[in-house]
């Protein structure tokens, strides 16, 4: 790597402005007209060079976040760990970041950062404590208060722009720098390419073009240090390799194998977003196999991984891989798969196995399913924070499978009009195709659906669906009915009005 970049002129690369979002082009030119340097960066440039359609267009600039906000009225500043600007358009959000650097003149702040070894959640709590700490207050009228407490600062001290945990994980990264420094601090070489609108050239500081041509995912810098700074980079390495059809460079791969357990330190909420990217981009089955091969799937989903490893007729469970093949087919055909469908297809049999065990112990079916979903969440949330609404949707899909057996009377039409029918039928379609069971039942419902097409407004609106609390039920007293506000019970003997 060199501070002197390789400049690829317009004549030597395939990127054309007509392939770039017009909103991104507007932002680039507006920053340029305001006297700032700005580039299209990251995955968007990589995908354009590969002839792929980018999922989003990100911009890096020398303008500070507050300066960006002054330039764009439709700007919102977000993030604490990384301060970013979101430029809102009618149908798109363009993310703009200030050039950053790993070099800081606040070394003392970095060295005195909170020592955290219990995971990212504790790390973020430490950040919150740092930012919300208030100096001791001097009581009014007290004598010699300045001598006792020291001078009262006029304002809260500014938190450090760079903050790391005791084991080297980056907790905050808002040290601004130059384009060269920004390129070097990015994760992989193929994601560190810049495209400018001044001369329409591609700028490469880290050998990204060479790795792009070789089909390599290579971490920038020392792999051990970079994976320690942000363990999610290991997950991203696997995703990029699977989606792009690339190989992971040898040193990067070796460090990934040695330090995969550090993924457990990543924020569970952030990992939920990453898991969706892993499995909903059309190469989920391939990604799953790579995660299993590297041992990373076992770090993310230890209980599910143990279940997969249990033999079924002499072979490990193949359900999750088959489910992801189904999801890949849907995504590649242009169908959007919602997260609750993804998780239910992947892990539904695991939840049903738990529920069956509870039913065998005498628990009522719905109570057993509730308890099974609660147990499933308790196992998965410490690593991947699945939202409650997703868990409720999984429970409803599994519970509705029994409704398909009721094909007489008014029950089929009533079920057809329920908002959860489509999700439940998607699960029935997949499970019947995979197991060879309930095929006749699936065919019956398919014909029934054709014979009773829903009219506009006939189905119950989704927002009217009332989901019961997700909890293991037990003997409880009757729930008290809430009285309507504004109405009081008449006093004894008072005349009726």
Please list the active-site residues.
Answer: 56, 58, 187
According to the 3-state scheme, what is the secondary structure of the chain? CCCCCEEECHHHCCCCHHHCCHHHHHHHHHHHHCCCCEEEECHHHHHHHCCCCCCCCEEEECCCHHHHHHHCCCEEEECCCCCEEEEECCCCEEEEEECECCCCCCHHHHHCCCCCCCCHHHHHHHHHHHHHCCCCCCCCCCCCHHHHHCCCCCCCCCCCCEEECCCCCEEEECCECCHHHHHHCCCEHHHCEEECCCCCCEEECCCHHHHHHHCEECECCCHHHHHHHCCHHHHHHHHHHHHHCCEECHHHHHHHHHHHHHHHHCCHHHHHHHHHHHHCCCCHHHHHHHHHHHCHHHHHCHHHHHHHHCEECCEECCHHHHHHHHHHHHHHCCCCCCHHHHHHHHHHHHHHHHHHHHHHCCCCHHHHHHHHHHHHHHHHCCCCCCCHHHHHHHHHHHHHHHHHHCCCCCHHHHHHCCCCHHHHHHHHHHHHHHHCCCHHHHHHHHHHHHHCCCCCCCCCCHHHCCCCCCCCCCCCCCCCCCCCCCCCCCCCCCCCC
């Amino acid at each position: 790597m060199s501070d002197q970049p390789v400049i690829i002129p317009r004549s030597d690369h395939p990127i054309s402005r007509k392939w770039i979002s017009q909103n991104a082009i507007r932002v680039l030119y507006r920053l340029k007209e305001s006297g700032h340097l700005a580039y299209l960066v990251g995955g968007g440039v990589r995908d354009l060079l590969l002839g792929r359609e980018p999922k989003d267009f990100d911009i890096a600039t020398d303008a500070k976040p507050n300066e960006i906000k002054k330039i764009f009225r439709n700007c919102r500043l977000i993030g604490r760990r990384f301060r970013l600007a979101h430029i809102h358009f009618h149908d798109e959000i363009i993310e703009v970041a200030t050039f950053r650097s790993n070099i800081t003149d606040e070394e003392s702040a970095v060295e005195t950062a909170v020592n955290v070894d219990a995971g990212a959640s504790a790390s973020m709590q430490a950040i919150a404590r740092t930012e919300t700490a208030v100096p001791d207050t001097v009581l009014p009228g007290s004598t010699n208060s300045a001598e006792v407490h020291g001078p009262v600062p006029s304002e809260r001290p500014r938190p450090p722009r760079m903050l790391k945990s005791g084991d080297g994980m980056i907790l905050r990264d808002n040290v601004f720098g130059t384009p060269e420094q920004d390129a070097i601090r990015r994760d992989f070489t193929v994601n560190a390419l810049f495209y400018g609108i001044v001369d329409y050239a591609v700028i490469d500081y880290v050998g990204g073009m060479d790795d792009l041509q070789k089909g390599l995912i290579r971490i920038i810098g020392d792999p051990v240090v970079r994976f320690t700074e942000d363990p999610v980079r290991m997950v991203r390495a696997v995703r990029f390799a699977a989606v792009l059809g690339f190989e992971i460079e040898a040193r990067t791969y070796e460090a990934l194998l040695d330090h995969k357990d550090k993924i457990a330190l990543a924020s569970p909420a952030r990992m939920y977003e990453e898991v969706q990217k892993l499995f909903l981009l059309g190469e989920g089955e391939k990604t799953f196999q790579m995660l299993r091969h590297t041992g990373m799937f076992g770090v993310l989903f230890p209980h599910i991984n143990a279940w997969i490893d249990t033999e079924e007729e002499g072979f490990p469970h193949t359900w999750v891989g088959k489910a992801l093949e189904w999801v890949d087919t849907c995504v590649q055909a242009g169908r959007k798969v919602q997260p609750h469908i993804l998780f239910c297809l992947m892990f539904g049999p695991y939840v049903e196995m738990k529920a069956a065990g509870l039913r065998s112990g005498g628990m009522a079916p719905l109570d057993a399913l509730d308890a099974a979903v609660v147990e499933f969440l308790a196992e998965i949330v410490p690593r991947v924070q699945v939202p409650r609404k997703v868990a409720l949707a999984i429970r409803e899909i599994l519970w509705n499978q029994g409704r398909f057996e009721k094909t007489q009377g008014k029950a089929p039409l009533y079920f057809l009009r329920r908002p959860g029918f489509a999700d439940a039928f998607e699960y029935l379609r997949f499970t019947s195709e995979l197991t060879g069971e309930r095929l006749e039942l699936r065919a019956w419902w398919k014909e029934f659906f054709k014979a009773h097409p829903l009219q506009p407004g006939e189905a119950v609106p989704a927002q009217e669906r009332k989901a019961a609390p997700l909890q293991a039920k037990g003997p409880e007293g009757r729930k008290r009915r809430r009285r309507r506000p504004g109405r009081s019970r008449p006093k004894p003997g008072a005349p009726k009005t």
